[in-house]
């Protein structure tokens, strides 16, 4: 059966006439801008911050296109990946009627965004090996199921989802399949961006917050068909990504060598943490990871968490999360930060 995008989109969104900003109506070159009711005298912040940013972030999209091999009209740029998540709910899910599927343990904002938009959530947990339960996911979908969120590499478990399972879901799930690749730059296997041409129901999300080191700027990307990207651009606020954020990311794309060096160092340090924590007597298991963090099962995670906090080291306690019982999630730090962590863990081990 052919994929019918319009059959999934909310009727009011299909009829929507999106807001037309002054900058979206203007095309060409100009020297005097009297169209957007800006302060013509400037900004105390300097530069050109008195002017509204490009509403479609075209310069940034051209650079992202060159990096990822995806045409600009297949790219959405948002205020973090969370904006893309929220837009997908608003585009595809009728409040109070439609629903989405998530596979816990996973990123918590999928459910929060669903709750905000009054969209039902069906939970299909990962297997005990943190794999997708494909048969259960397909069995859980109903006529009202519009979205499926897959985090890969998954947060908080760190593992990639197997490509055959992802492709089976793309072929058999009747809604939109969203692959959240926030941590893909640390993974041992390539992105699912290569599948975009084959699956019109695929949305891939990435971010500049992790490997690119720009979490404070809040810039995320989504990749999909031209039709889905056009819907996202129609529903988003007109100036959703600031001039400061756009310029900073544009400048950063010219320094990919540094980013690649940071990724290599992160992977080296990840291996160091895994190797040295494995020798600690209270560590039960370190789960395989393709992210910039490790999930570690411990005898008394809350005691370890408190000890580290007293040592001025903060990790994430995931011990109350289903399938992550007894676990702490630990981000890979700098060599110096990791040394402090390992020394504190060793000291804890001597006290218990």
pLDDT in tens, 110-126: 999 999 999 999 999 99
Among the candidates 240, 255, 270, a domain finishes at 255
Among the candidates 255, 284, 300, a domain finishes at 255
Rounded Cα distance between 266 and 271, Å, is 9
DSSP states of 80-128 as a string? HHHHHHHHHHHHH--TTT-EEEE-SSS-THHHHHHHHTT-EEEE-PPPT
Say yes or no: 210 and 318 in one domain.
Answer: no
The answer to whether 246 and 53 have CB atoms below 8 angstroms apart is: yes
Question: Average pLDDT over the chain, rounded to whole?
Answer: 96
Domain count, the chain: 2
Check residue 168 and give left, alpha or beta (phi > 0: left; psi -120 to 50: alpha).
Answer: alpha
The answer to whether 112 and 91 have CB atoms below 8 angstroms apart is: no
Say yes or no: 251 and 274 in one domain.
Answer: no
pLDDT at position 20, please?
Answer: 83
The answer to whether 230 and 203 have CB atoms below 8 angstroms apart is: no
Using pLDDT thresholds of 50, 70 and 90, give the confidence band for residue 351. confident
Using pLDDT thresholds of 50, 70 and 90, give the confidence band for residue 28. confident
Among the candidates 218, 233, 255, a domain finishes at 255
Rounded Cα distance between 207 and 80, Å, is 7
pLDDT in tens, 45-73: 888 899 999 999 999 999 999 999 999 99
Q: Where are the beta strands (DSSP E) in the chain?
A: 75-78, 99-102, 120-123, 145-151, 176-180, 202-207, 220-223, 283-286, 293-298, 316-317, 327-331
Say yes or no: 346 and 214 in one domain.
Answer: no
Instruction: At 22, list the tokens.
Output: 């002054």
Burial degree of 176 (CB within 10 A; 0-12, 13-18, 19+): buried
pLDDT at position 1, please?
Answer: 58
**Average pLDDT for 224-244:** 96
When mean pLDDT is compared across 29-33, 71-75, 77-81, the lowest value belongs to 29-33
pLDDT in tens, 241-261: 999 999 999 999 999 999 999
Strands 283-286 and 176-180 turn out to be: unpaired
* Residue 2 covered by a domain: no
> Which CATH number fits the domain that encloses residue 307?
3.90.1150.10
Q: What are phi and psi of 275, to 5 degrees?
A: -65, -45
Containing structural domain, residue 330: 257-351
Rounded Cα distance between 84 and 113, Å, is 10
* Residue 3 covered by a domain: no
């Amino acid at each position: 059966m052919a994929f019918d995008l319009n059959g999934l989109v909310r009727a009011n969104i299909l009829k929507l006439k999106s807001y037309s900003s002054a900058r979206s109506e203007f095309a060409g070159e100009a020297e005097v801008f009297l169209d957007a009711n800006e302060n013509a005298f400037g900004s105390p912040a300097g530069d050109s911050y008195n002017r509204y940013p490009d509403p479609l972030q075209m310069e940034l999209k051209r650079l992202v296109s060159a990096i990822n091999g995806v045409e600009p009209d297949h790219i959405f740029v948002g205020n973090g990946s969370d904006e893309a998540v929220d837009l997908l709910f608003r585009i595809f899910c009728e409040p109070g009627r439609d629903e989405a599927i998530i596979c816990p343990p996973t990123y918590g904002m999928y459910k929060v965004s669903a709750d905000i938009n009054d969209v039902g959530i069906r939970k299909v947990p990962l297997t005990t090996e943190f794999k997708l339960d494909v048969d259960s996911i397909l069995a859980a979908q109903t006529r009202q199921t519009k979205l499926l969120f897959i985090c890969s590499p998954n947060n908080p478990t760190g593992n990639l989802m197997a490509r055959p399972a992802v492709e089976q879901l793309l072929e058999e799930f009747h809604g939109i399949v969203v692959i959240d690749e926030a941590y893909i730059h640390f993974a041992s296997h390539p992105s699912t961006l290569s599948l975009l041409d084959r699956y019109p129901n695929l949305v891939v999300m990435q971010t500049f917050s992790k490997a690119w080191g720009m979490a404070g700027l809040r810039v995320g990307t989504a990749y999909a068909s031209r039709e889905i990207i056009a819907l996202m651009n129609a529903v988003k606020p007109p100036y959703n990504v600031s001039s400061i954020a756009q310029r900073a990311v544009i400048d950063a794309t010219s320094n990919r060598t540094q980013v690649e060096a940071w990724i290599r160092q992160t992977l080296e340090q990840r291996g160091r943490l895994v190797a040295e924590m494995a020798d600690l007597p209270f560590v039960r298991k370190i789960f395989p990871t393709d992210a910039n963090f490790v999930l570690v099962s411990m005898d008394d995670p809350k005691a370890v968490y408190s000890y580290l906090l007293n040592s001025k080291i903060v990790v994430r306690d995931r011990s109350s999360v289903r399938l992550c019982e007894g676990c702490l999630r630990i981000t890979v730090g700098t060599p110096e930060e990791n040394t402090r962590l390992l020394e504190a863990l060793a000291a804890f081990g001597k006290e218990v």
